[in-house]
């Protein structure tokens, strides 16, 4: 039980000064920061995973043959040949319009989706690109087979594994996710430290009462439950407050994030597991607070005969 049951008459042994101390407020702040860090960690981890799986088995073959007709023929031949291979999941030739649209964003063309109308872009000798997704996990074996295929269908073409240029970004995002996880652990430890200090302060404040209770035959368990209940309730108030503020902030961020549909940012989301984890954190925090308070109180009471 997270908050132990104590008879009403026993509860009166401690004066009722709920929410009068700093504990609920400090716990609220820590809980809010913990949930925000956890949300950031989950979002970043999912983003890193999404990027990682998207790039892990994908390569782009860049055909730079000078003659545009030959270049187009080589691209079409390579796409057909690649699509027929058992180690290839999918092969797709990237349209010139798609390339121009992408480049148009960098060249400042008026409409990025209408890059083809830009005379500068039209004058550029763009390479032909073929995106290839591999089947399964044997990436190195597949690469060797693809090199043979490319050498036959489009000599001189370059094979660019996506992991080469997006890998560092995925690793950075993964590192940020770990840092967020580390922050969650640190703030959890800080919360536990707050509970320990609260328990010790409560013991100090009520030492005379505790000593009296001991001398009339109260057990450590009876005394511990009394204080554990009070600390768990105070902490639960703080956790509820922190959770409410964090939830409001996350919903606001989520609402704003929903407008982001492009690039790497679109891969960041909490997902059902993330939400379950975030909802479980406050309950785990209350359980941790109750357990920490119990162990602190029992350890302190053992020093008294």
Contact footprint for another protein (CB under 8 A): 7, 9-10, 12-13, 15, 208-209, 211-220, 222, 302, 305
Tokens of 27: 């716990």
**Residue 273: CB minimum distance to another protein, A:** 44
Report the residue number, 185 or 212, with the smaller CB distance to another protein: 212
Query: Which residue, 9 or 261, is less far from another protein as judged by CB?
Result: 9
User: Closest separation between CB of residue 219 and another protein, Å?
Assistant: 5
Least Å distance, CB 32 to another protein, is 33
Neighbours of 277 (CB within 10 A): 18
Return the number of the residue (9 or 148) whose C-beta is nearest another protein. Answer: 9
Distances (CA, A) of 74 to 87, 149, 216, 254: 20, 12, 95, 45
Alpha-carbon distance 264 to 212, whole Å? 64
Considering the complex, state which of residue 151 and residue 212 has its C-beta at the smaller distance from another protein: 212
Minimum CB–partner distance for residue 9 and another protein (Å): 6
CB of 233 to another protein, least distance (A): 18
Q: Compute the half-sphere exposure of residue 55: CA atoms within 13 Å on the CB side of its CA.
A: 20
- Which residue's CB is nearer to another protein, number 14 or number 83? 14
88 sits in which H/E element: strand 88-94
Half-sphere exposure of 81 (CA within 13 A, CB side): 18
Alpha helices in the chain (DSSP H): 8-11, 23-56, 68-83, 96-107, 119-123, 139-153, 162-205, 207-215, 220-257, 271-301
Compute the least distance from the CB of residue 201 to another protein, in Å. Answer: 17
In the complex with another protein, the residue whose CB is nearer, 172 or 212, is 212
Q: How far is the CB of 35 from another protein (least distance, A)?
A: 37
Q: Which residue's entry shows tokens 């320990």?
A: 196
Please state the closest distance from residue 209 (CB atom) to another protein, in A.
6
| Structure token pair of residue 148 | 């043979």
Whether 132 contacts 60, CB under 8 Å: yes
- Specify the 3-state DSSP secondary structure of 155: coil
Confirm if 32 and 246 have CB atoms less than 8 A apart. yes
Cα dihedral angle (23, 29, 31, 34), rounded to 10 degrees? -140
Tell me how many degrees the CA angle 278-279-284 measures, rounded to the nearest 5. Answer: 90
* Longest CA pairwise span in the chain (Å): 100
Decide whether 67 or 303 has the Cβ nearer to another protein.
Answer: 303
Nearer to another protein, 73 or 220 (CB): 220
């Amino acid at each position: 039980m997270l908050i132990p049951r104590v008879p009403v008459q026993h509860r009166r042994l401690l004066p009722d000064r709920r929410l009068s101390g700093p504990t609920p407020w400090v716990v609220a702040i820590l809980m809010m920061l913990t949930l925000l860090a956890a949300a950031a960690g989950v979002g970043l981890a999912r983003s890193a995973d999404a990027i990682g799986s998207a790039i892990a088995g994908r390569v782009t073959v860049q055909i730079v043959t000078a003659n545009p007709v030959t270049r187009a023929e080589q691209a079409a031949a390579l796409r057909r040949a690649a699509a027929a291979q058992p180690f290839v999941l999918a092969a797709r030739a990237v349209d010139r319009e798609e390339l121009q649209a992408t480049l148009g964003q960098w060249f400042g063309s008026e409409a990025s989706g209408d890059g083809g109308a830009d005379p500068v872009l039209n004058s550029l000798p763009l390479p032909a690109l073929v995106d290839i997704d591999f089947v399964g996990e044997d990436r190195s074996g597949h690469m060797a087979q693809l090199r043979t295929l490319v050498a036959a269908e489009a000599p001189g073409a370059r094979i660019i594994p996506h992991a080469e240029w997006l890998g560092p970004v995925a690793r950075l995002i993964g590192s940020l996710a770990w840092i967020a996880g580390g922050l969650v652990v640190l703030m959890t430890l800080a919360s536990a430290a707050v509970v320990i200090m609260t328990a010790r302060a409560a013991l100090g404040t009520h030492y005379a009462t505790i000593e009296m209770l001991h001398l009339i035959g109260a057990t450590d368990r009876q005394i511990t439950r009394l204080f554990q209940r009070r600390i768990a309730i105070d902490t639960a108030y703080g956790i509820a407050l922190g959770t409410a503020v964090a939830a409001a902030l996350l919903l606001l961020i989520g609402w704003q994030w929903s407008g982001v549909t492009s690039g790497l940012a679109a891969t960041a989301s909490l997902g059902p597991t993330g939400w379950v984890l975030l909802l479980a954190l406050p309950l785990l925090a209350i359980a941790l607070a109750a357990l920490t308070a119990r162990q602190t109180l029992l350890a302190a009471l053992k020093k008294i005969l």
